Amino acid sequence: MATINVMKTMTLVDDILKLKKEKRALVLAHNYQRGEIQDIADYVGDSIELCRRAIEEKDARIIVFSAVDFMAESAAILNPDKKVFIPSSGARCPMARMLPAEEVRLWKKKYPKVPVVLYVNTLAEAKAECDICCTSANVVNVVDSLDADTVLFGPDENLAWNVQQKTGKKIIPIPEGGFCPTHVLFLKEDILLLKESHPDAVVAVHPECTPDVQSIADFVGSTSQICKYVGESSAKKYIIGTEVGIIHRVKKENPGKEFIPAYDGAVCPNMKLNTLERVYLTLKEERNPITVPESVAKKARKALERMVSITQ
Ligand code: SF4
């Protein structure tokens, strides 16, 4: 049975590689994607790294963005001349849905003079309502760049807490209590127990984790920052507090180091909806295209491009 599965995977990989060439397709995979998708992707990275790649790869005709909806939408908005597809139409980020555009408008009414910074983990309609977007990698630079002491920030309240600590500005989280259902699974108690068994391990976590978890970590950063940190640090062992898909990448890039998930059940079910079979079908049938109405895309593009210009 195992041999049949391996053969099936090898055939699928061959077919995907062939289709990529034939169709001049670029396959981009987020750090949380299944290992087998990361292995066939042209690039693996965080949302903004992947959007940048999409812009830079001028020869690509189509892009298969293996991630969740808001990331593929951002790629489509920033690359209006390319066709963008997502392997699974059901791969939707629940956190992005916690802040609909109408709610952003309500907060703007309440605080008309306060700039609105939205995490890229929002849908295009919400992005269209903000002044500037940010990622977890560039949020501090983005907030620092604003000539304002108070900022409306959404949708992740834990990231809002992190930015307030780092910038000293008053951050008003919108909505109240927005969160990533995967990152709140990490618990301080679990990490402290792991530290007892692995006293030499360094703890690196994502800022979508709760303040409790962030407070006991040695390093807090985005997925790209965690990858960089573990690559450059001299420590041999790491406890990783972000979606477990990243373990595949850090292990591959750092063969001499050991990585322990801070909680091995921290799986984003939406990210995992993308499978090798679905990548293959998307390439073959060009299914699940991402389209954003131009009236929305135009405004969202402005917020995304403003972010890119600050953090290049
Ligand atoms: S890990 Fe969290 S923020 Fe990222 S896609 Fe999944 S639910 Fe959304």
What integer pLDDT is reported at residue 17 of this predicted model? 95
What integer pLDDT is reported at residue 3 of this predicted model? 64
> Percent of the chain scored above 90 by pLDDT?
90
Summarised one tens digit per residue, pLDDT across range 23-74 is: 999 999 999 999 999 999 999 999 888 988 988 888 899 999 999 999 999 9
To test ligand 1's pocket by mutation, which of 180, 222, 273 has the most ligand atoms within 8 angstroms of CB?
A: 180
109: amino acid identity, one letter: K
- The Cα 78–Cα 302 span in angstroms is 9
Instruction: Please name the residue whose Cα sits nearest to atom 2 of ligand 1.
Output: 180
Nearest by Cα to 62 from 86, 46, 92? 86
In sign, the C-alpha dihedral spanning 149, 179, 31, 308 is negative
What integer pLDDT is reported at residue 305 of this predicted model? 93
CA of 21 to the centre of ligand 1 (A): 31
CA of 94 to the centre of ligand 1 (A): 7
Q: Is any ligand 1 atom within 6 A of the Cβ of residue 135?
A: no
Inform me whether the pLDDT recorded for 308 exceeds 90: no
Inform me whether the pLDDT recorded for 10 exceeds 90: no
What average pLDDT does range 292-306 have in this prediction? 96
Instruction: Please name the residue whose Cα sits nearest to atom 1 of ligand 1.
Output: 268
Band of residue 309 on the pLDDT scale cut at 50, 70, 90: confident
What average pLDDT does range 179-183 have in this prediction? 98
What integer pLDDT is reported at residue 312 of this predicted model? 60
Q: Which of 18-22, 79-83, 93-97, 197-201 has the lowest mean pLDDT?
A: 79-83
What integer pLDDT is reported at residue 92 of this predicted model? 97
Inform me whether the pLDDT recorded for 115 exceeds 90: yes
| Secondary structure letter of residue 289 according to DSSP | B
Neighbours of 37 (CB within 10 A): 26
Summarised one tens digit per residue, pLDDT across range 248-271 is: 999 999 999 999 999 999 999 999
Q: What's the whole-number average pLDDT of the chain?
A: 95
> Percent of the chain scored above 70 by pLDDT?
97
What average pLDDT does range 9-25 have in this prediction? 93
What integer pLDDT is reported at residue 24 of this predicted model? 94
Q: Is any ligand 1 atom within 6 A of the Cβ of residue 211?
A: no
User: Which helix H or strand E contains 241, and what residues bound it?
Assistant: strand 237-241
Q: Is any ligand 1 atom within 6 A of the Cβ of residue 266?
A: no
Q: Is any ligand 1 atom within 6 A of the Cβ of residue 220?
A: no
Inform me whether the pLDDT recorded for 307 exceeds 70: yes
What average pLDDT does range 111-135 have in this prediction? 97
Give the DSSP per-residue string, 44-90: EE-HHHHHHHHHH-TT-SEEEEES-HHHHHHHHHH-TTSEEE-S-TT
Alpha helices in the chain (DSSP H): 2-22, 35-40, 47-56, 69-78, 101-110, 124-127, 139-145, 157-167, 188-197, 211-215, 223-232, 246-253, 276-285, 294-310
What integer pLDDT is reported at residue 41 of this predicted model? 97
To test ligand 1's pocket by mutation, which of 123, 182, 205, 272 has the most ligand atoms within 8 angstroms of CB?
A: 182
CA of 131 to the centre of ligand 1 (A): 23
How buried is residue 285: exposed, middle or buried, by Cβ count under 10 Å (0-12/13-18/19+)? exposed
Inform me whether the pLDDT recorded for 214 exceeds 80: yes
Neighbours of 264 (CB within 10 A): 9
Cα angle value 52/54/56 (rounded, 5°): 70
What average pLDDT does range 199-214 have in this prediction? 98
Q: Are 132 and 303 in contact (CB under 8 A)?
A: yes
CB contact burial 107-116 (16+ within 10 A = b; e otherwise): bbeeeeebbb
Q: Is any ligand 1 atom within 6 A of the Cβ of residue 88?
A: no
Q: Is any ligand 1 atom within 6 A of the Cβ of residue 68?
A: yes
Instruction: Please name the residue whose Cα sits nearest to atom 5 of ligand 1.
Output: 93
Q: Is any ligand 1 atom within 6 A of the Cβ of residue 270?
A: yes
Bridge partners (DSSP) listed for residue 202:
238
Question: What domains appear along the chain, each with residue ranges and CATH number?
Answer: 2-90+271-285 (3.40.50.10800), 96-180 (3.40.50.10800), 183-261 (3.40.50.10800)
